[in-house]
C-alpha cells in the first residue's frame, strides 16, 4: 500500500491505495509504520476530492475503490452506505432492511465500524432509529462535524446561497 496524508477539520486522514484504488482511510493520519508516498494519479485524486468535500463542496466521490476483506454481509452494507446521497441520512434499520436482513440493525452498526474507507464510504450518514447520533468508529464528534458540514451545504444549495 502507498499512503498520503490529507489535512481535514476532523484531523489528518491517512489514505492508502493499492493497485486497484483506495483501500483504506484512517483517522489520525498515517499509521506509525507507513511513510508518505509520492502521490500518483489515484492518491492525488483522492486528496483533491477529500479536500473539496471538507471545503464544503457537494461532491460525489469518483476515486476508484478497492474494498478489501469483510464478510458478504459487511460488503453488502458497505455498498448500501456508498449509495447514500450527499447530505442524506439512513438509519441502521433502513440499511439492514436494504440488505435483506431487517432484524440486523446492530450487525449493520458493526459493519459500519469495520468500514475500511470511511468518509468516502459514508458510514457517518447512518443514525439511530430516533435520528440520534450513535456509534461511529472515528468518534461522534467527527460524525457530527461531517453531518453539519453536509447539512450546511444542502441548505445553501436549496436556498440558492451557493
Q: Which domains does the chain have, with CATH numbers?
A: 2-54 (no CATH), 72-158 (1.10.10.10)
Burial of 33 (0-12, 13-18, 19+ CB in 10 A): exposed
* Alpha-carbon torsion (4, 6, 11, 13), positive or negative: negative
Q: Residues 88-120: pLDDT tens digits?
A: 999 999 999 999 999 999 999 999 999 999 999
Q: What are phi and psi of 87, to 5 degrees?
A: 65, 20
Compute the half-sphere exposure of residue 117: CA atoms within 13 Å on the CB side of its CA.
Answer: 27
Check whether 80 has a pLDDT greater than 80.
yes
123 part of the active site: yes
Burial of 59 (0-12, 13-18, 19+ CB in 10 A): middle
**Active-site hit among 17, 25, 95, 123:** 123
Mean pLDDT of 121-141: 94
**Per-residue confidence (pLDDT) for residue 162, from 0 to 100:** 56
CA 136 to chain CA mean position, Å: 11
For residue 50, the tally of other CB atoms under 10 A from its CB is: 23
**90: which strand partners?**
126
Percentage with pLDDT > 70 across the chain: 99
Cα(118)–Cα(124) distance, integer angstroms: 8
CA angle 34, 120, 15 (to 5 degrees): 10
Amino acid at each position: 500500500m502507498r499512503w498520503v496524508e490529507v489535512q481535514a477539520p476532523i484531523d489528518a486522514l491517512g489514505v492508502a491505495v493499492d493497485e486497484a484504488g483506495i483501500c483504506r482511510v484512517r483517522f489520525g493520519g498515517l499509521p506509525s509504520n507507513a511513510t508518505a508516498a509520492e502521490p500518483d494519479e489515484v492518491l492525488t485524486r483522492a486528496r483533491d476530492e477529500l479536500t473539496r468535500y471538507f471545503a464544503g463542496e457537494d461532491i460525489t466521490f469518483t476515486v476508484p475503490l478497492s474494498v478489501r476483506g469483510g464478510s458478504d454481509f459487511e460488503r453488502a452494507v458497505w455498498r448500501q452506505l456508498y449509495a447514500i446521497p450527499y447530505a442524506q441520512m439512513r438509519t441502521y434499520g433502513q440499511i439492514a432492511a436494504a440488505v435483506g436482513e431487517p432484524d440486523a440493525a446492530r450487525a449493520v452498526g458493526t459493519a459500519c465500524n469495520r468500514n475500511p474507507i470511511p468518509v468516502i464510504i459514508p458510514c457517518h450518514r447512518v443514525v439511530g432509529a430516533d435520528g440520534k447520533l450513535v456509534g461511529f468508529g472515528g468518534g461522534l464528534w467527527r460524525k457530527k462535524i461531517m453531518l453539519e458540514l453536509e447539512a450546511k451545504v444542502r441548505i445553501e444549495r436549496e436556498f440558492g446561497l451557493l
